[in-house]
């Protein structure tokens, strides 16, 4: 049976999901599906460390320790209201006795949503006003990013409350290469194209395509430089934007981890990687041993070539461009640090 969407009513049968506010529970329901195990199929094995919060909806799930059944969870029972073996690494294995239906939720996402839900009277509906239907989807998408797990819950609430919606037609320019950076943007409807003008291409080379939930505009805010690319709407759509001062206070500062040269060297010696975000010409002239070079304006395009399990120390001459690069990496779940002062400073 294919995975099927769940209702908020179903989620409310489980703890601590039953404590979520109505709108937040509905937003979570859109991200969760009912999955199925065949008789004898393993759900997870002892020692498993994947952070998933699992609930049994129907059927019987056996808990196994060294081939011996030490417990069972039957869907619909009082015991099934709670997550299955919630300690990591898992201390037992879980195997389906018969046909089992279950829910699997990203534990970090659930923790963020529970914390966010409980830090004030804020509800998604308070933000929507005249906004487009389904705006809570982009909010939930943002909350799912690893970056938001680093931001204090009170800041998350303030971020959403201070954002402003702007609507666009197809072909409208949201931000222009060379302009001053003044806002951080989240695309909440439609799609957009990111291009960069070069001496050889006045029309601009394509750097990325943006979709609902994608963010942009942060590089210029962090590096205090001019916009390094143009973003144009491909379709009719809308963005939410956050002013520079609010961005730096609420989003930027909590996410960046600065390290000294000594601390950076320790990270490198433990298997980390120098990531230099300067231009190729600067890199060729001078760079740290073992560093890889991805210019800042290419980092979104090349990010898939990086190892998500590796720690990166991002560097440039001063720390300004590298802080922008580290933010983008952190935003997408990579472990990134910024070399304080840059490679040419005594501070490092």
- For residue 196, pLDDT over 80 is answered with yes
pLDDT given for residue 218 in this prediction:
85
4 CB-side CA count, 13 A: 7
Average pLDDT, stretch 167-181? 93
C-alpha 130/C-alpha 127 separation (Å) is 9
pLDDT given for residue 2 in this prediction:
42
Residues 143, 241 within the same domain: yes
pLDDT given for residue 175 in this prediction:
92
pLDDT given for residue 142 in this prediction:
74
Q: How many CB atoms lie within 10 A of CB 94?
A: 26
Residues 123, 242 within the same domain: yes
- For residue 204, pLDDT over 70 is answered with yes
The answer to whether residue 114 sits within a structural domain is no
User: The whole model's pTM is what?
Assistant: 0.58
Residues 269, 329 within the same domain: yes
C-alpha 37/C-alpha 29 separation (Å) is 20
Residues 82, 176 within the same domain: no
Residues 74, 147 within the same domain: no
CATH code of the domain containing 125: 2.60.120.10
pLDDT given for residue 147 in this prediction:
65
C-alpha 22/C-alpha 25 separation (Å) is 5
pLDDT in tens, 277-297: 988 888 888 899 999 999 887
Residues 241, 307 within the same domain: no
HEC assignment per residue over 159-218: HHHHCEEEEECCCCEEECCCCECCEEEEEEECCEEEEEEECCEEEEEEEEEECCCCEECH
pLDDT given for residue 65 in this prediction:
92
Winning range, highest mean pLDDT, from 83-87, 117-121, 122-126: 83-87
Last residue of some domain: 200, 219, 252?
A: 252
pLDDT given for residue 219 in this prediction:
83
The answer to whether residue 37 sits within a structural domain is yes
The answer to whether residue 112 sits within a structural domain is no
CATH code of the domain containing 276: 3.40.250.10
C-alpha 208/C-alpha 64 separation (Å) is 47
Of 192, 187, 203, nearest in space to 235 by CA: 192
pLDDT given for residue 222 in this prediction:
82
Residues, the chain = 348
Residue 115: pLDDT band by 50, 70, 90 thresholds? low
Q: Give the distance, in angstroms, between the CA of residue 178 and the centroid of all CA atoms in the same chain.
A: 28
Between 312 and 256, name the one with better pLDDT. 312
Arithmetic mean of pLDDT over the chain: 84
Number of domains in the chain: 3
What CA dihedral angle connects 300, 306, 312 and 318, to 10 degrees? -40
176 CB-side CA count, 13 A: 6
C-alpha 25/C-alpha 9 separation (Å) is 9
C-alpha 287/C-alpha 273 separation (Å) is 13
Last residue of some domain: 224, 252, 280?
A: 252
Phi-psi region of 67 (alpha: psi -120 to 50; beta: other; left: phi over 0): left
Residue 310: pLDDT band by 50, 70, 90 thresholds? very high
Residues 228, 133 within the same domain: yes
Residues 181, 86 within the same domain: no
pLDDT given for residue 123 in this prediction:
37
The answer to whether residue 111 sits within a structural domain is no
Number of continuous H segments (helices) and E segments (strands) in the chain: 13, 21
Residues of the domain holding 37: 4-106
Of 10, 92, 302, 76, nearest in space to 84 by CA: 92
CB neighbours of 154 closer than 8 A, spacing ≥ 6?
119, 120
Q: Which has the minimum average pLDDT: 66-80, 178-192, 214-228? A: 214-228
- For residue 116, pLDDT over 80 is answered with no
- For residue 1, pLDDT over 50 is answered with no
From the candidates 316, 324, 326, 336, which is the catalytic residue? 316
The answer to whether residue 348 sits within a structural domain is no
The answer to whether residue 113 sits within a structural domain is no
Residues 245, 289 within the same domain: no
Last residue of some domain: 252, 287, 317?
A: 252
Would you call 315 a catalytic residue per the annotation?
A: no
Task: Give the helix/strand (H/E) hosting 152.
Answer: none
Beta carbons of 195 and 206 less than 8 angstroms apart = yes
pLDDT given for residue 136 in this prediction:
54
The answer to whether residue 344 sits within a structural domain is no
Residues 54, 158 within the same domain: no
């Amino acid at each position: 049976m294919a995975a099927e969407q769940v209702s908020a009513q179903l989620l409310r049968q489980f703890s601590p999901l039953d404590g979520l506010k109505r709108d937040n529970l509905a937003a979570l329901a859109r991200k969760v599906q009912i999955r199925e195990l065949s008789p004898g199929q393993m759900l997870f094995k002892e020692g498993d460390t994947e952070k998933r919060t699992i609930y049994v909806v129907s059927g019987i799930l056996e808990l196994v320790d060294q081939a011996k059944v030490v417990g069972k969870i039957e869907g619909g029972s009082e015991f099934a209201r709670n997550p299955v073996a919630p300690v990591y690494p898992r201390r037992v294995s879980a195997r389906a006795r018969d046909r089992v239906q279950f829910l699997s939720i990203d534990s970090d996402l659930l923790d963020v949503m529970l914390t966010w839900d409980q830090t004030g009277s804020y509800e998604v509906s308070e933000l929507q006003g005249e906004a487009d239907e389904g705006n809570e989807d982009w909010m939930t998408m943002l909350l799912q990013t690893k970056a938001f797990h680093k931001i204090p819950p009170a800041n998350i609430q303030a971020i959403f409350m201070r954002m402003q919606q702007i609507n666009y037609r197809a072909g409208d320019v949201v931000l222009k290469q060379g302009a001053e950076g003044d806002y951080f943007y989240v695309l909440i409807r439609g799609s957009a194209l990111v291009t960069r003008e070069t001496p050889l291409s006045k029309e601009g080379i394509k750097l990325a395509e943006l979709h609902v939930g994608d963010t942009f505009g942060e590089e210029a805010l962090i590096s205090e430089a001019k916009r390094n690319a143009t973003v144009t709407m491909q379709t009719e759509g809308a963005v939410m934007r956050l002013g520079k001062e609010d961005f730096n206070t609420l989003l930027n500062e909590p996410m960046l981890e600065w390290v000294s040269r000594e601390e950076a060297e320790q990270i490198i010696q433990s298997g980390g990687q120098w990531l230099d975000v300067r231009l190729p010409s600067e890199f060729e002239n001078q760079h740290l041993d073992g560093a890889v070079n991805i210019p800042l304006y290419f980092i979104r395009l090349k990010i898939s070539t990086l190892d998500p399990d590796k720690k990166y120390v991002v560097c440039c001459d001063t720390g300004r461009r590298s802080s922008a690069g580290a933010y983008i990496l952190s935003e997408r779940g990579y472990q990134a640090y910024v070399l304080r002062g840059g490679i040419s400073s005594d501070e490092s």
